[in-house]
Structure 1
Amino acid sequence: MDVAVVGSSNYDMYTYMSRFPAPGETITGKKFQDGFGGKGANQAVCASILGAKVGIVTRVGDDKFGREIRENYERHGVDVTHVKIVEGVTTGIANIWVDDSGENKIVLIPGANYKMTAADVVAAKTLISEAKLLVCQNEITLEATLEALRCAKQSHVSTLFNPSPMIDFPDEIFSLVDIWCLNQTELELLMKFQAEDMYDTPENIRRNCSSLLSKSSCNGILLTLGSKGAAVVTKDDVVMIPPAHIRKKEVVDTTGAGDSFLATVAVCLAKNKSFVDAATTACHTSGETVKYAGK
């Protein structure tokens, strides 16, 4: 197993519009489409498409969405041994609005994702221990995420974590993550500070990342900078990664860009590529993702 993912599975419902409505306003949208989503699901499927052997630990509801999600994993070659149905709850649902600029607003109903327990993760410990890399995010219960990271540490499996959506984490998290992948907002929320410096030079980025580097036992930070690319930050160096060359008119939907970035990083690291090579490849992959709706 190259990559084990412990995370969310959602069914996504996209509404496309020229602009977002103001409070109390009704507007006419342009298009509706639905499909598969959730950070964990996106990362697992993307990693499999990129050639990695992938397994996922996730929960879905006892409904048509859950059954379709499982079938989608199977179509993409993702191991579904630990895709379990939770009776009496819905599958996770995401309502996603996308405007003409490609920006998005998302309302998430967690459903079965919030029913995953530490015991569920322990039951999947063999999958985690046999992987080269564990990927986690934050769309499931904290107890499940922490247990997954613990299992990986105990098995000497590297861990890659995106702390999104952001919550207050216990200090234990800082000893369990080998590689942080997060954006500027997530960094500041995680470390509870407001940056005085722009994220525009290696020196400023190092200064803004210093608290996470000092508090964490991590090997490095992959800081995503939106249209400006990314930065690879270690205790010894900061390397700026340029963005993919995407014209503004090519941007259709930015929703899955972060997930495709993380999945690409995971696949590259599982293949023993360097942080810099992984981030460079990931910038190009996520750049391609924004050209398409619902990717």
Structure 2
Amino acid sequence: MIVIIGSINMDLVLRVPRMPLPGETITGDQFRTIPGGKGANQAVACARLSADAIKVAMIACLGDDAFGEQLRAALRQDGVDDSRIATIAGTASGIASILVDDNGQNSIVLASGANAELSPAHIDAARELIEQARIVVLQLESPLATVIHAIRLAHALGKTVVLNPAPAQALPMELLAQIDYLVPNEIEAAMLAGMPAVGTDSDERIEAVVATLRARGSGNVLVTLGEKGVYAALAGGAMHFDAQPVKAVDTTAAGDTFIGGFVAALAEGRSEAEAIAFGQRAAALSVTRVGAQTSIPYRKELDN
């Protein structure tokens, strides 16, 4: 089983020709509401990209509103176990306001809503679910105290812990040693290492950032670099995995799709290199489509 602990949002997506300047009003194009949230995206990606024998469950919070009902239904449709997704009375579900420009790049503003209510008590109540897991996946769109509590519990139970440290924020150094796979992008990696993000587009700079993270206790570090691929520092050494060249339409959830594919492959017992390549194939297909969960491919699409 794979257990994802994290956020669920409704994405309010607006296409724009370009990003507006401060104080500027521009005319957009198509508007859509699409299920999202880093936690839910990664849960859906794991579910769609896993073999049938692998079960996927989520620990999270939703509001008691129409978005909450729609978001829960979307997860169930993809076969995600929602038995530990709590509904918080009198609270709105999380939302993300997303602008996507003609180059496929995005700009995102979050309103946490019910995601901010996910507490250590919710994690403890779901201990039995975590005990059944092989891999536990987390992000940072939930309260940091809850993320820390969940990582410590999963690590103590001997689970493989995957952390996507996004949105980027400082983490206790002792926590890094309890994470089996740290998966940031280059900006998040630099922030965690306490280094400026300027210049993180070169292999030499990424190597320096990753060396700092590993010196602080991180084990395996996978830095996602968008169209430039993935830099992976693993127990057996470091290497750069080139990305599959595609025409990007919308990069929303590309990182989440990569993590879902990587984790799904790991859960099946594939090697780390195979899991990274599988995640990259899934992410490459996702950026050719619009939206978060609407862009995440199914396993049969990659198999074909």
Task: With the length of structure 2 as denominator, give the TM-score of the two structures.
Answer: 0.91
- Matching residue's letter, 2:30: K
Correspondence for 1:207: 208
Residues 140 and 147 in structure 2, CA contact (< 8 A), matched pair in contact too: yes
Residues 48 and 77 in structure 1, CA contact (< 8 A), matched pair in contact too: yes
Correspondence for 1:283: 280
* RMSD, aligned CA: 1.5
SS at match of 1:11: strand
Distance across 2 between alignment mates of 1:149 and 1:195: 26
Q: What whole-Å deviation, never above 9, does each CA across 1:60-80 have from its counterpart, x for those lacking one?
A: 001011111111111110001
Displacement of 1:171 after TM fit? 2.4
Residues 239 and 276 in structure 1, CA contact (< 8 A), matched pair in contact too: no
- Matching residue's letter, 1:290: V
Correspondence for 1:49: 48
Q: What whole-Å deviation, never above 9, does each CA across 1:177-204 have from its counterpart, x for those lacking one?
A: 1110011111110111136865544x55
Residues 129 and 151 in structure 1, CA contact (< 8 A), matched pair in contact too: no
Matched, 1:132 2:126: no
Identify unmatched segments of 5+ residues in structure 2. Answer: 296-304
Correspondence for 1:7: 6
Residues 250 and 287 in structure 2, CA contact (< 8 A), matched pair in contact too: yes
Q: What whole-Å deviation, never above 9, does each CA across 1:101-137 have from its counterpart, x for those lacking one?
A: 0011111000000111101101111111111100000
My pick for the range that moved more, 254-263 or 273-282, is: 273-282
Residues 187 and 197 in structure 2, CA contact (< 8 A), matched pair in contact too: no
Correspondence for 1:229: 229
Q: Which has the higher contact order (CA 8 A, sep 6+)?
A: 2
Alignment of 1:46-125 (within 5 A): 46-51=45-50, 52-125=54-127
Correspondence for 2:37: 38
Task: With the length of structure 1 as denominator, give the TM-score of the two structures.
Answer: 0.94
Residues 242 and 280 in structure 1, CA contact (< 8 A), matched pair in contact too: no
- Matching residue's letter, 1:210: A
Displacement of 1:205 after TM fit? 3.6
Distance across 1 between alignment mates of 2:226 and 2:10: 25
Distance across 2 between alignment mates of 1:272 and 1:55: 19
Identify unmatched segments of 5+ residues in structure 1. Answer: none
Correspondence for 2:257: 260
- Matching residue's letter, 2:253: G
My pick for the range that moved more, 144-153 or 31-40, is: 144-153
Distance across 2 between alignment mates of 1:280 and 1:224: 12
Residues 197 and 208 in structure 1, CA contact (< 8 A), matched pair in contact too: no
Residues 213 and 234 in structure 1, CA contact (< 8 A), matched pair in contact too: no
Displacement of 1:153 after TM fit? 1.0
Residues 134 and 158 in structure 1, CA contact (< 8 A), matched pair in contact too: yes
Distance across 2 between alignment mates of 1:116 and 1:22: 35
Q: Residues 174 and 32 (structure 1 numbering): CA distance in 2 closer, same or farther, change over 3 Å?
A: same
Distance across 2 between alignment mates of 1:236 and 1:207: 18
Identity over aligned residues, as a percent? 34
Correspondence for 1:239: 239
SS at match of 2:137: strand
Q: Residues 59 and 168 (structure 1 numbering): CA distance in 2 closer, same or farther, change over 3 Å?
A: same
Displacement of 1:207 after TM fit? 2.8
Any runs of at least 4 consecutive aligned residues in structure 1 with deviations exceeding 6 A, and if so which? none
- Matching residue's letter, 2:224: T
Q: 2:266 aligns with which of 264, 269, 273?
A: 269
Q: What whole-Å deviation, never above 9, does each CA across 1:81-120 have from its counterpart, x for those lacking one?
A: 1011011211000000000000111110000001111011
SS at match of 1:194: coil
Distance across 2 between alignment mates of 1:198 and 1:142: 26
Distance across 1 between alignment mates of 2:190 and 2:126: 33
